[in-house]
Chain A
Amino acid sequence: MTSPRPDLRVERLLRDLAPQVLGAVVRRYRDFAASEDAVQEALIAAAAQWPDEGVPDNPRGWLIHVALRRMTDYVRSEIARRNREVVVADEDPCVVAPTIDSEPVLDPDDTLVLLFMCCHPALTSASAIALTLRAVGGLTTAEIAKAFLVPESTIGQRISRAKRSIRASQVPFRTPDADERAQRLGSVLHVLYLVFNEGYTTSAGAELHRIDLSNEAIRLTREVHNLLPDNGEVSGLLALMLLTDARRAARTGAHGELIPLDEQDRALWDRQAIAEGEALVSAALSQGSVGEYQLQAAIAAVHDEAARAEDTDWQEIRALYGLLMRITDNPLVAVNHAIATAMVEGPNAGLALLAPLEGDERLRGSHRLDAVRAHLLERAGERRAAVELFRGAASKTTSVPERNYLLMKAARLKEAIGGGPSWTSRT
């Protein structure tokens, strides 16, 4: 086995340690924003020094030590500033400088509490995502900006706004009680799910995969799973990510074009990831309290189990979507249920289920409904209507590979009908 390049190793180590270090510092100072800045500085210092000078014997202790020193500097300057402003410093427990001992006690729950803080329900999901990637994922602002294709200043703004909101909400740094935990865990899982999706299907831009974001979401979810191994929804989400990500290599062609599930080369699927995902989801389902992520993972598993597209057990998928519809009123779930129904009973049965969704406000502007109707109309033999809808869907999507795929479908179908554009008429 070859070891990864040294700077890659350092990078991975730093990202693993980032939440632990931040947790230790926040627990001591209780000032999230300042601690986060101090840890970022420590991480930057390590990234600069370690590749050349070697990783210290106790890298975590090193980082905590440097971050605490930064905090002490910060606290001193705060005291000086406040004195200038004639404010009594010791009114605020945060400005009392602590003594730096050898190695602060580490609490495995710190990472979880950090996640709970970053995925605070008061934050918008865009802010929560940015803050989670930085504070828990250990990514720099520049890396996050690159992943989301937005200017660095935008992400910087989002992060500082998020930190202000957390400060204003006065959330204490402690492990939430059982009720709070269940409620907050929902937000944490949602944020991780969004990060994964952002990585898997980019909502805008030319590249279909942002591999780093998907990997990051899987890494963080795995961490949560290690902390809460008995939680069925955490296992379900990790399984869903693994089972979906397993198809990554088969999902795009040589020119970055989208390859739909039924046309993918299944030999390219990652069998190991599929096996792990399947084991996770069946264990989770057997525990009871079946939830949304477990059902979605079960559906992904049914797709992954089929050796060929035509072997897919659509009856099973339809039944699983039926259960999922009892949990969520997300119209996209209803769309998928209609697709599964069409695969079992024929395109017209699917189209009938889609009809009532046409007035749904939440689907307005989304290309998904048009694209699905186009596929079903094509199968039902209504090719002219299908061409129109493929074009309509192409005009609505913001993903370049998806738009190209839809336009190709429209063009091929149009050609098959024989009514090509007048200037290419062939007889």
Chain B
Amino acid sequence: MKYMLLMNTPRDGYAQYMSWPKKILEANIAFMQAMSRKLSASGELVSTQGLASPQQAKLVRAGQGGKPITDGVFPESKEFLAGYWLVDVESPQRAYEIAAEVSTAPGGTVTGADGKPLEHFWIEVRQVMSSVEDLK
């Protein structure tokens, strides 16, 4: 069964990301690369992408003659999609496990002395309706 793991960021998330300490940025990149390698090695990764800053994002619809009409950034949005993982796993539990691990990414969360995360960095887990089999 396939799951989409969605990483959302608050409106100012990208600005925050830009001001992260260099060491945390480097660690975040290394963490994400290691995550991809691990999921590829276990045969669970279908695809993963990170999305560019929503500053350049546009709302688009067809105008006269099918010509694109664009609108500026979504002023009312509180959250933006920052990236996703598409995984093919044995069970929903496994998808949750992966999401939990991803949520410990450097920069997204910090951990107290007892190992408890102090700030929750949620990952949205959605099942993909990719085949009849999954709908059973």
- B residues 12-40 touching A (CB-CB < 8 Å): 19-24, 26-27, 30-31, 34
Are B23 and A282 touching (Cβ within 8 A)?
yes
Is B110 an interface position by the 8 A CB rule?
A: yes
- A residues 282-316 touching B (CB-CB < 8 Å): 282, 285-292, 295, 298, 301-302, 313, 316
Are B20 and A282 touching (Cβ within 8 A)?
no
Are B111 and A327 touching (Cβ within 8 A)?
yes
Stretch at the interface among A180-188, A360-368, A411-419: A180-188
Task: List A contacts of B118 (CB < 8 A).
Answer: 326-327
Chain A 259-298 against B: per-residue CB contact (8 Å), 1 yes, 0 no? 0000000000000000000000110011111111001001
Is A407 an interface position by the 8 A CB rule?
A: no
Per the bound structure, the CA–CA distance linking A289 and B115 in Å amounts to: 8
Partner of A286, one of B19, B27, B109, B116: B27
Which residue of B has the minimal Cβ distance to A286? B30
Determine the main DSSP class of A at the interface with B.
Answer: helix
Are A287 and B31 touching (Cβ within 8 A)?
yes
Are B22 and A316 touching (Cβ within 8 A)?
yes
Are A285 and B27 touching (Cβ within 8 A)?
yes
With known contacts A326-B118, A326-B119, A327-B118, A289–B111 Cβ distance under 8 A: yes
Are B23 and A326 touching (Cβ within 8 A)?
no
Q: How far is the CB of B113 from chain A (nearest CB, A)?
A: 4
Are A327 and B112 touching (Cβ within 8 A)?
yes
Which residue of B has the minimal Cβ distance to A193? B113
Which residue of B has the minimal Cβ distance to A278? B23
Stretch at the interface among B47-55, B77-85, B87-95, B98-106: B98-106
Task: List B contacts of A185 (CB < 8 A).
Answer: 114-115
Is A206 an interface position by the 8 A CB rule?
A: no
Per the bound structure, the CA–CA distance linking A64 and B106 in Å amounts to: 45
Are B113 and A282 touching (Cβ within 8 A)?
no
Task: List A contacts of B117 (CB < 8 A).
Answer: 289
With known contacts A288-B105, A319-B19, A319-B20, A326–B27 Cβ distance under 8 A: no
Per the bound structure, the CA–CA distance linking A82 and B24 in Å amounts to: 62
Is A209 an interface position by the 8 A CB rule?
A: no
Are A291 and B24 touching (Cβ within 8 A)?
no
Are A289 and B23 touching (Cβ within 8 A)?
no
Per the bound structure, the CA–CA distance linking A98 and B31 in Å amounts to: 51
Interface on A for B, CB 8 Å cutoff? Answer: 182-183, 185-186, 189-190, 232-233, 281-282, 285-292, 295, 298, 301-302, 313, 316, 319-320, 323, 326-327
Which 6 pairs show the lowest CB-CB distances between chains A and B?
Answer: A285-B27, A288-B104, A286-B30, A186-B113, A182-B115, A319-B21
Interface on B for A, CB 8 Å cutoff? Answer: 19-24, 26-27, 30-31, 34, 101, 104-107, 109-119
A287-B31, A316-B21, A327-B118 given. 9 additional CB < 8 A pairs?
A281-B23, A282-B26, A286-B34, A290-B24, A290-B27, A291-B112, A316-B22, A319-B21, A326-B119
